[in-house]
Amino acid sequence: MRVKMILPALTEAISPYFRPIKYSLFPPLGLATLAGYLDEDDQVTIQDEHVEKLDLYDNPDLVVIQVYITSAYRAYELADHYRAKGIYVALGGLHVTSLPDEAAQHADSIFLGPGEDIWPAFLSDYRQGRAAKVYTSKVRTLVGIPKIRRDLIKRNLYLVPNSIVVSRGCPHVCDFCYKEAFFKGGKSFYTQQVDDALAEINRLPGRHLYFLDDHLFGNPRFAEALFDGMKGMGRLWQAAGTVQAALRPGLLEKAVESGLRSLFVGFETLSTSNLQEQHKYQNLNRDYCAAIQRLHDQGVMVNGSFVFGMDDDDETVFDRTVEWAIKQGIETATFHILTPYPTTALYERMAQQGRLLHSNWDLYDTRHVVYRPAKLAPDALEAGYWRAYRNFYRWGSIFQGAWTKARWNDRLRHMAYATGWKKFEPAWDMIIKAKRASSMLPVLETILSSFGRRVSH
């Protein structure tokens, strides 16, 4: 069987004029995971439109497309194209799970939820000529899953080819998060077995790893055993975690010993009332400053995630948040405009209150306002969001943030990391166009490792 797997891109990612580095960071791990279930004699290709031009003149037997909200229209266009040629099209992923009726109009089979149970079930049905229209995931486990087909990934096209996930979902329930909607009907947080995760890590070449888990520290026992197992492997790694995880005694230290050098932390908002509104209880009454201090003391850089536009946010939120982040010495910040993804609790609330402005999914990209904010005009929210990025990444702010650190090495690392992402965008554009993204990985590794300095505790 000839199988073609596609990760379609949103328009911005394929601009001939400018390519932001973020779209050349990670390979399509979900599709490479699904490819692992195919037979040895199946011919399979993965095409990622973020980094390559799609070949649309081929005639495979089966086309598999992963659909995110921002690439939904493009995914449907590709699906219609292949179906018009009489080719069987399977659609799955987050957006299909949110809006199955919409997706079903463009597919022969749709898949709701994670693929580890329903994808092999479909393959068996398809080979017997009796594939169903809808497959809904119920059995949630990562035990005994086949090896990810990393051989299908074009590593040179990505800055971070070694992305990895060793769990699915998250133990928390925040109203704006995709998670509850995607995992409904089964467990919404589960991990691999530690030995399997370590074996996967061992298979990855080089030093650098990026854990894409929503919350790598979500099961402290699993995380502790994983970090113990990784000790001595000589890895340098990055991941996402919560404020709570950073404050938890012992766990962070183990993570650092096993190579953690930068953590994406979901602060989201400095307002208690916003946290309550979004049911982000795990952040309530946590000392954000102490968490950052602890991370910095351990030599871990912080990528702070902030969401603008919750009901307690007014015109002052942007400057206050940016000033606070700079004062804390946060190295990089990711800002988002609150976005109600369909079927999340936030979306239902906004819909009930009649606050949704439209359902043009292309604009549900966390950079556009798609609902009526409570204390801000939509255009003021968008303007404030862009201003926050500008102000956080201006030279003066980068110096100010770097100088919150006592040691020269930490200052230098802060400056190199922050400027690397945001000040050299034209250089990234050239590197991406030359298809050399992976050649910059040694630079990233050098910066993460504090230019070779060993962190002592």
Could you tell which of ligand SF4, ligand B12, none binds residue 153, using a CB distance below 5 to 8 A set by kind? Answer: none
DSSP letters along 320-373, please? HHHHHHHHTT-SEEEEEE----TTSHHHHHHHHTT-B----GGG-SSSS--B--
Residue 307: beta bridge partners? 336
Does residue 173 interact with ligand SF4 by CB under 6 A? yes
- What is the C-alpha end-to-end distance of the chain, expressed in Å? 55
Q: Using CB under 6 A as the criterion, what x/- string covers residues 239-268 for binding ligand SF4?
A: ---x-----------------------x--
Judged by CB under 6 A, the stretch of 4-12, 35-43, 383-391, 427-435 that binds ligand B12 is 4-12
| Closer residue to ligand SF4 (CB): 75 or 307 | 307
Question: Which C-beta is closer to ligand SF4: that of 46 or that of 330?
Answer: 330
Q: Residue 91: beta bridge partners?
A: 65, 110
Beta bridge partners of 163: 210
User: In this chain, which of 6, 19, 46, 95 binds ligand B12, going by CB under 6 A?
Assistant: 95
Residue 26 sits in the site that holds ligand B12 (CB under 6 A):
yes
Q: Among 150, 179, 414, 422, which residue interacts with ligand SF4 (rule: CB under 6 A)? A: 179
What, of ligand B12, ligand SF4, none, does residue 70 touch, CB below 5 to 8 Å by kind? ligand B12
User: Which partner from the list ligand B12, ligand SF4, none does 410 bind, CB cut-off 5 to 8 Å by kind?
Assistant: none
Which two tokens mark 257? 């010993």
Distance of CA 307 to the CA centre of its chain: 15
- Which run of H or of E encompasses 92? strand 88-92
Interface stretch with ligand SF4, choices 80-88, 167-175, 203-211, 356-364 (CB under 6 A)? 167-175
Does residue 211 bind ligand B12 (CB under 6 A)?
no
For residue 214, state whether it binds ligand SF4 (rule: CB under 6 A).
yes
Dihedral sign, CA of 389, 394, 398, 403?
negative
Residue 119: name the closest of 181, 50, 31, 25 by CA: 31
Q: What does the DSSP 8-state code read for residue 219?
A: S
Helix, strand or coil for residue 26? coil
Binding to ligand B12 in span 150-209, by CB under 6 A: 165, 177-178
Closest C-alpha to 120, from 196, 39, 5, 27? 39
Q: Which of 22, 91, 89 is nearest to 50 (CA)?
A: 22
215 is an interface residue for ligand SF4 by CB under 6 A: yes
Contact 376, 318 (CB under 8 A): no
Cα separation, 146 vs 406, whole angstroms: 47
Q: Of 94 and 415, which CB lies nearer to ligand B12 in the complex structure?
A: 94
Minimum separation from the CB atom of position 218 to ligand SF4 (A): 8
Q: Strand 236-241 and strand 208-211: pairing?
A: parallel
CA neighbours within 13 Å on the CB side: how many for 259?
21
Q: Does 172 bind ligand SF4 (CB under 6 A)?
A: yes
Q: Which of 3, 6, 21, 30 binds ligand B12 (CB under 6 A)?
A: 30
Least Å distance between CB 99 and ligand B12? 10
Positions in the binding site for ligand B12 (CB under 6 A): 7, 9-10, 13, 22-23, 25-26, 28-30, 33-34, 64, 66, 68-71, 90, 92-95, 111, 114-116, 118-119, 165, 177-178, 212, 214, 341, 365-367
Positions in the binding site for ligand SF4 (CB under 6 A): 170, 172-174, 177, 179, 214-215, 242, 266
